[in-house]
Amino acid sequence: MKVIMINDCAFVGETLLKYLPEGVEKNHVVRSRKLFDKTLGLAYKILKSKGDIYHVHYLLQDCYIALKLKKKPLIGHAHGSDLRQQLNSKKWGWIVKHNLKKCDKILVAQPTILETAKRFNETSEYFPIPFDPKIFYPQPLKEENKKKTIFIASAHNFDIKGTDKFLKALAPIADLVTIKSIGYGKDYAKAIKLSEELGLKINFISKVPHEKMNKLYWESDLVLGSFGIKQLDTVAIEAMACGRPVVHSISKKFFPDCPLEELETIKDATETILKLISSREEREKRVKSQLLYVKLKHSAPVLTERLINIYSKIISK
């Protein structure tokens, strides 16, 4: 079997390719954000690729080009915003709908978008975000310090990630913590201004390569993910895999077994954070339940076994 992986999102494709079993040939067709590389350059790369199955991430131009070049069988992998936002946009909506209907199989990275996908393609199924256990693995909790280190791991996008709510949640307990955050996202400038207004002293750091995110988690006592649209994001999964307690708002309707809260208010977030930074026992308890969950549901070796079964069924049709 030869797998052609096209594009990527949040390192999902890269991680899955890494753990495909020996004997599976693989080729990753990647591109930059430059105009030529997203159009003619991409089309040329896809045209030249030859495989038994094609797996494309994100249901925009990459998927559309692969379909037009008759690359079959084709799996379309939706990651969130392509179905939440682009599906109904004037610019991209028709492409997303076309791709949904024409792909041989649809995978969705979030259960929150599964029903949307099924409206256009009944083959759609939820395929959880994988983490790489060779990069993201547990380390012992930090030694006790008077002030606990909190790492805000999500990009500063107030609508989607809700990091503004976490900043507000931290304000009442600012004297008890030191805060670190990666300085990126469309609302990064707003986050700086808001933190100043709230009296928060935050160490905004530069982005680091994906494989070095583990150190940022291990250096922290507590990791904050998202407080936005209540889906389970990559940073929360990887931080849990690193053995750090995570506060991240999810929808219990879609993630009933996940040991995270569905945060309703900023006060809820403050109380949850305070409980965890005040008790090592609470942190250890949370780490244990979160590790069990991600190893069972999100470990890349486990998920690639499932993926190979999906590939085999599609190829044999």
Between residues 87 and 41, the one the model is more confident about: 87
What is the C-alpha R_g of the chain?
20
User: Regarding predicted confidence, which is higher, 315 or 43?
Assistant: 315
Q: Kindly state whether residues 286 and 306 are assigned to the same domain.
A: no
Same domain, 14 and 124: yes
Supply 146's token pair: 């008077």
- Burial (Cβ within 10 Å: 0-12, 13-18, ≥19) of residue 167: buried
**C-alpha angle 212/111/127, rounded to 5°?**
60
Q: And the tokens for 244? A: 């750090």
Q: Does 180 lie in the same domain as 78? A: no
SS3 content of the chain, % helix, strand, coil (to 5): 45, 15, 40
Task: Clarify whether residues 241 and 312 are in a common domain.
Answer: no
Q: Is residue 240 part of a domain?
A: yes
Q: What is the mean pLDDT of residues 154-172?
A: 97
* 203 close to 101: Cβ distance less than 8 angstroms: no
CA distance 174 to 176: 5
- Do 182 and 266 sit in the same domain of this protein? yes
Q: How many domains does the chain have?
A: 2
Give 9's DSSP letter: S
Residues 169 and 234 both lie in one domain:
yes
Is residue 141 within 8 Å of 114, Cβ to Cβ? no
Whether the predicted model's global pTM rises above the 0.75 cut: yes
Which CATH number does the domain housing residue 250 bear?
Answer: 3.40.50.2000
Average pLDDT over every residue of 106-121: 97
| Residue 133 within any structural domain of the chain | no
| Residue 243 backbone zone (phi > 0: left; psi -120 to 50: alpha; other: beta) | left
Q: What is the number of other CB atoms lying within 10 angstroms of the CB of residue 287? A: 20
Same-domain check for residues 290 and 308: no
Nearest 10 degrees: Cα torsion 110, 237, 254, 123 = 30
The answer to the question of residue 135 being in a domain is: no
For residues 49 and 103, state if they share a domain.
yes
Does any domain span residue 140?
A: no
Does residue 101 lie in a domain region?
A: yes
Residues 256 and 312 in one domain: no
Q: C-alpha distances in angstroms, 112 versus 13, 229, 253?
A: 20, 9, 9
CA dist list (Å): 92 to 55, 60, 75: 20, 7, 19
Q: Please, which pLDDT band fits residue 33 given cuts at 50, 70 and 90?
A: low
Which structural domain, as residue segments, surrounds residue 38? 2-128+299-316
pLDDT band with cut points at 50, 70 and 90 for residue 80: confident
Instruction: Tell me, yes or no, whether 138 lies in a domain.
Output: no
pLDDT at 17: 97
- Please give the mean pLDDT across all residues of the chain: 95
pLDDT at position 217? 98
Residues 68 and 176 in one domain: no
Residue 83 belongs to a domain: yes
Whether 217 is in a domain gets the answer: yes
Q: Are residue 123 and residue 37 in the same domain, yes or no?
A: yes
Mean pLDDT calculated for residue range 246-269: 97
- Looking at the predicted structure, is the pLDDT value of residue 40 above 90? no
110 and 225 in one domain?
no
pLDDT at 85: 84
Q: DSSP readout, 137-155?
A: ---PPPPP-SSEEEEE-S-
